[in-house]
Amino acid sequence: MAFFDNFSKKVQDVAFVAAEKAQQVAAVAGEKANAVADKAKIEYEMAAERRSMDKNYRALGEWYVSTLEGDAPEAVADIVAAIKDSQENLAAYEAAKAEAAAEAAALKAKGIEPCLAVILVGENPASQVYVRGKVKDCGECGIKSLELRMPETTTQEELLAKIAELAADKTVNGILVQLPLPKQIDEHAVIDAIPPEKDVDGFSPVNVGRMQTGQPCFLPCTPAGCIRMIESTGTKIDGKNAVVIGRSNIVGKPAALLLLAKNATVTVCHSHTANLKEICANADILVAAVGRAGFVTGDMVKPGAVVIDVGINRGADGKLHGDVNFEEASAVAGYITPVPGGVGPMTRAMLMKNTTQAAAMQNGVAI
């Protein structure tokens, strides 16, 4: 039957065209799918590479270099160049230190030499190391430092007299009394004696109160450093679940306040907290300031979380250990700070910046 022959031929033609079209569509879709898959694979590999390269360090943001370049004095040109060269691998604390060096250079260009006085009472071995680090950083940033050693037997009156002397000295911009102090000295009385405008630790009641009410002040160095480290990862703090373990006056409490000021939803955990594990495992940002080596285990870390390890615990092996079990936590976290080489040096860098700010304020100049 010719008619049917013709009909079936037509059907065949239509079917053929449709099949061809379907093939083309499939090919295009396949190509697209392949391209998407390839791109995802490359991105995944790049991210993995970045993470392995950059687990401990985080790149310095462009914003910072441009800030420095704004009116960088001659003296800091090579610092800026070095930052640019190693931008991918520069530790956040090195960036902060370079900033302080730039500020010190800017002050010197105006005839002002920033100066920090550090008082160490007694022979506490850890304090000696920290103070040495602070004095070394001053040297590297172009900040003058006075390292004042007083014996373990120093009385409170003697220490207060030394503070009064430094408070009256116009060439001294910052006064820091390293803690802890020997038992015979009342820590609060000492902190109260430091004039708020020279209190580069941010421990005096005026600075603490101003921080709590959101007024300009000297921020305490360790918590300010924690915030800086979180932000250096590119993480937005706003709206995140932040958990702080520890409620000390030096770290836990102020860290919680600063996170709150940045619009995080903040939970402060401590030795009486129930369900600690569950609370921590829900944290986008986890700040560990407990003072117990390896306290935070991998199962307490939310995948991808930013983990800031404030702990500095000296083990029986003589080595430093953080509050976080680094090996476990780093397998889960998106970013984790190392110990040593994390919050400690960042604390010192923040101190450098507070000192340059103090010098600028006391001399009525902006930097």
Q: Which is nearer to ligand L34, 222 or 356 (CB)?
A: 222
Kindly state the tokens that stand for 62. 């462009």
Cβ count near 93 (within 10 Å)? 25
Residue pair 263/238 in contact (Cβ under 8 Å)? The answer is yes
The CB-of-160 to ligand L34 minimum distance in angstroms stands at 15
How many alpha carbons fall within 13 Å on the CB side of residue 298? 7
> Quick one: angle between helices 77-85 and 92-109, nearest 10?
160
The CB-of-342 to ligand L34 minimum distance in angstroms stands at 6
Give the residue from 255, 273, 239 showing the smallest Cα distance to 311. Answer: 255
3-state SS class at 238: coil
CA dist 238 → 28, 284, 305 (Å):
42, 11, 14
* Catalytic residue, candidates 137, 199, 201, 323: 201
In angstroms, how far is CA 132 from the centroid of its own chain? 21
Q: Which is nearer to ligand L34, 76 or 324 (CB)?
A: 324
The CB-of-37 to ligand L34 minimum distance in angstroms stands at 42
Indicate if 178 belongs to the active site.
Answer: yes
The CB-of-296 to ligand L34 minimum distance in angstroms stands at 17
The CB-of-211 to ligand L34 minimum distance in angstroms stands at 15
Which residue has the CB atom at the shortest distance from ligand L34?
Answer: 344
Q: Which is nearer to ligand L34, 80 or 179 (CB)?
A: 179
The CA distance from 260 to 248, in Å, is 16
CA dihedral 122, 124, 129, 133 (to 10 degrees): -50
Indicate if 55 belongs to the active site.
Answer: no
| Site for ligand L34, rule CB under 6 A | 129-130, 133, 176-179, 201, 221-222, 312, 320, 339-341, 344-345, 347-348
Q: Which is nearer to ligand L34, 235 or 347 (CB)?
A: 347
Query: Distance between terminal CA atoms of the chain?
Result: 97
Indicate if 215 belongs to the active site.
Answer: no
Q: Which is nearer to ligand L34, 117 or 264 (CB)?
A: 117
Nearby residues of 294 by Cβ (< 8 Å), 6 or more positions away:
321, 322, 323, 324, 325
The CA distance from 118 to 176, in Å, is 5
The CB-of-317 to ligand L34 minimum distance in angstroms stands at 13
- Bridge partners (DSSP) listed for residue 308: 287
Q: Which is nearer to ligand L34, 75 or 160 (CB)?
A: 160
Which sequence positions are flagged as catalytic? 134, 178, 201
